[in-house]
Amino acid sequence: MTDREILQLQITACELRELILRALFNAKSGHPGGSLSIVEALTYLYKYEIRIDDPDSPDRDRLVLSKGHAVPALYAVLAMKGLMPISQLDTLRRIDSPLQGHPKLGSVPGIEMSTGSLGQGISVACGMALGAKIRGQKLRVYAVLGDGELQEGQVWEAIHFASHYSLNNLCLMVDWNNLQIDGYVDDVMNLRKMDDRFRANGFRTIVIDGHDFIELQAACSMFHQTKDRPTAVIMKTIKGKGVSYMEDAVEWHGKAPNEEEYKQAILELDQQISQLRRMNQEGTDVGGTQTGGMALGMMDLSDSKWDSMVLDSFARNSLAQRAAAEREMEQKALDDARQKEARIARERMMKINDTETAGGDGE
CATH code reported for the domain at 3-306: 3.40.50.970
Which residues fall within 8 angstroms of residue 71, CB to CB, at 6 or more apart?
A: 35, 65, 99, 100, 101, 102, 103
- Position 282 scores a pLDDT of 84
CB 3 within 8 A of CB 285: yes
CA end-to-end distance (rounded Å), the chain: 80
- Domains of the chain by residue range: 3-306, 317-363
Highest mean pLDDT among 116-125, 137-146, 320-329: 137-146
Confidence of residue 236 (pLDDT cuts 50, 70, 90): very high
Q: Find the angle CA(254)-CA(180)-CA(171) to the nearest 5 degrees.
A: 105
- Position 143 scores a pLDDT of 97
- pLDDT tens for each residue of 84-138: 999 999 999 999 999 999 999 989 999 999 998 888 999 999 999 999 999 999 9
- pLDDT tens for each residue of 277-290: 998 888 777 776 54
C-alpha–C-alpha distance, residues 232 and 214, integer Å: 17
